[in-house]
Amino acid sequence: MPRLAQPLSDSQIKRAKAQTKLVKLFDGHGLYLEIHPSGGKFWRFRYRKADGKETTIGFGPYPEVSLVEARNKRTAARRVLLEGGDPLQQREQMRRESVRATEYTFRKVATEWHQLKEKAWSPAYAHNVLHRLELDIFPDLGRLPIDEVTHRDLIDVFRKIEARGAHEIAKRNKAVCSQIFSYAIQTGVAQRNLVVDMKDVLQPVPSGNFPAISSDELPRFLQALRSNEACMQPLTRIGLRLLMLVFVRTSELIETPWTEIEEGKSEWIIPWYRMKLGKRRLNPIKKDHFVPLSRQSLQLLGDLRKLTGGGRFLFPNLRDRNRPMSNNAFLKALERMGYKGDMSGHGFRALAMSTIKEKLGYRHEVVDRQLAHVEKNKVTRAYDRAEFIDERRVMMQAWADYIDSLS
């Protein structure tokens, strides 16, 4: 019968001196202390794996790891063995998880996701998504390991956004976080998409499109516009009038270079790469947009040319003329007119669509083409190439005359 090792004592370990060869002091049940010729003392635990082979695992140096601590580590390792595990493999797994926790933070995973997705986004949209993350999400969640983020962490972030009245931004950030967690699960660094469970944590936001007045409200709007024009900057006044007459998207108007506008010519061609669907990185719609210009539109463009015709843009930024103006100028003007929350630059498109159909009697397809809407069904889009150019010319002049008649 093998002789059992006599348990070690602290005094025995302290008295032990280094020899010319490696010395081992055994404590029993596989635990022993190695004393190296250099004087270093290190705890080790010998055990037999499931395949019958012997191996050892280090528990650390003495006295940093005391005798009591080494015995506790031995007990924990023996418990792993009893459960059919391997202490060395378990330690490696814990090390990997620790590295993963510190390496795969929410910011790192979100940045990887953004870099992957931005290839299919327009530069402006990609910038906006990252800007919202940096402003609202990363300050609180960025440093946390993504697999340790809790429901409470997310709720606190979203509530902070809501507290400043940005309910729509909170909703969009919630959707973005859900996509980030989905990406994390697919790449193996998270186990669960917490956002999927969060059905009722945000305050309800009324659904709907961009604010827009109805056809019946147009006369009162025009009266308010006339009353406030004297207080507006010339570019803002002309811009609002043009938006109403041509009803292109706000960005398509304010980003227009003078090279697109031929003086005196009663049409304007917006190149496809400036259109909403042309800016897509994947499968852009490469179709220029035709805008007939009414007499009233030409008059406004003539007035505008006297102001900014020598520069790059129709509507330059007052601080940097090499950049277009901000669409906030139009929103602020509408706010001063008393239409905050009731009308927007984009709302002129909805106003034109409803009024031209209801009051002027034009077919939906004709107005829809002027709005540059594209048929979602690819097959239908391939066969439906009618542009109604002549009818659109007449319609745009009739629309401008109708506005004048209300004035």
Dihedral angle of Cα 16, 21, 27, 33, to the nearest 10 degrees: 80
Residues contacting residue 297 through CB under 8 Å, at least 6 positions apart: 242, 245, 246, 396, 400
- Strand 289-292 vs strand 267-270: parallel, antiparallel, or unpaired? antiparallel
pLDDT in tens, 161-217: 888 877 888 888 999 999 999 999 999 888 899 998 888 788 775 555 578 888 889
Annotation marks residue 167 as catalytic? no
Q: Dihedral sign, CA of 262, 263, 266, 268?
A: positive
Instruction: Give 232's contacts (C-beta < 8 A, 6+ positions apart).
Output: 240, 333
pLDDT at res. 321: 87
Q: Give pLDDT, residue 352.
A: 93
| More confident of the two residues 407 and 139 | 139
Q: Which residue has the higher pLDDT, 356 or 373?
A: 356
Question: Which pLDDT score, from 0 to 100, does residue 3 have?
Answer: 53
**Closest C-alpha to 133, from 93, 163, 99, 176:** 176
What would the pLDDT profile of 287-338 be if each residue is shown by its tens digit?
Answer: 899 999 999 999 999 999 999 998 999 999 988 888 999 888 999 999 888 8
**Has residue 371 got a pLDDT over 60?**
yes
Given 321, 373, 393, 402, which residue is catalytic?
373
Residue with tokens 């629309």: 399
**In 138-217, where does DSSP find H-type helix?**
138-141, 151-163, 167-186
Exactly one of 306, 319, 378, 383 is catalytic; which is it? 383
pLDDT at 351 over 60: yes
- Where are the CATH 1.10.443.10 domain residues in the chain? 215-406
Given a contact cutoff of 8 angstroms between Cβ atoms, the answer to whether 103 and 96 are in contact is no
Confidence at residue 1, expressed as pLDDT on a 0 to 100 scale: 40
Among residues 71, 237, 346, 392, which one is catalytic?
346
State the pLDDT at residue 182. 94
Strand partners of residue 23: 35
Task: Give tens-digit pLDDT for 330-339.
Answer: 999 998 888 8
Read off the tokens for 59. 């528990």
Three-state DSSP string of 296-335: HHHHHHHHHHHHHCCCCECCECCCCCCCECCCHHHHHHHH
* 98: pLDDT strictly greater than 70: no
pLDDT confidence tier of residue 382, bands split at 50, 70 and 90: very low
The confidence score (pLDDT) of residue 206 equals: 54
Interatomic CA distance for residues 385 and 211, integer angstroms: 31
Question: With pLDDT > 70 as the criterion, what percentage of the chain qualifies?
Answer: 93
Supply the pLDDT for residue 96.
Answer: 67
Reduced to 3 states (helix: H, G, I; strand: E, B; else coil), residue 41 is strand
Q: Report the distance separating Cα 59 and Cα 37, nearest Å.
A: 19
pLDDT tens-digit map of 225-282: 998 888 889 999 999 999 999 999 999 999 999 999 999 899 999 999 998 887 877 7
pLDDT of 383 reads: 42
| Residue 10 CB contacts under 8 Å (≥ 6 apart), including other chains | 66, 67
Look at the chain and count its residues.
407
Instruction: Check residue 361 and give its pLDDT.
Output: 93
Choose the catalytic residue: 249, 274, 289, 369: 249
Beta bridge partners of 42: 34, 61
47 is annotated as an active-site residue = no
The Cα 384–Cα 362 span in angstroms is 19
The mean pLDDT value for 388-403 works out to 95
Cα dihedral across residues 295, 300, 305, 311: positive or negative: negative
Among 171, 169, 137, 130, which residue's Cα sits nearest to residue 156? 137
Q: Is the dihedral of CA 218, 222, 227, 230 positive or negative?
A: positive
Share above pLDDT 90 across residues of the chain, in percent, rounded to a whole number? 54
Our answer to whether residue 220 is catalytic in this structure is no
How far apart, in whole angstroms, are the C-alpha atoms of residue 32 and residue 27? 5
pTM listed for this prediction: 0.55
CA 394 – CA 384 distance, rounded (Å)? 21
Check if 339 is active-site: no
What value does the mean pLDDT of the chain take?
87
pLDDT above 70 (res 374) = no
Q: What is the pLDDT of residue 378?
A: 55
Tell me which CATH code domain 10-99 carries: 3.30.160.390
Q: Is 349 a catalytic residue?
A: yes
Kindly report, residue by residue over 23-68, the tens digit of the pLDDT: 999 998 899 999 999 899 999 999 988 888 899 998 989 999 999 9
CA-CA distance, 369 to 247, in Å (whole number)?
12
The domain 215-406 is classified under which CATH number: 3.20.20.140, 1.10.1530.10, 1.10.443.10, 2.60.40.10? 1.10.443.10
- CATH 1.10.150.130 location in the chain: 106-197
Q: What's the topology of domain 106-197?
A: DNA polymerase; domain 1 (1.10.150)
Residue 265 catalytic?
A: no
> Of 74, 237, 289, 349, which residue is the catalytic one?
349
* Of 49, 276, 321, 332, catalytic: 276
Residue 385 has pLDDT above 70, yes or no: no
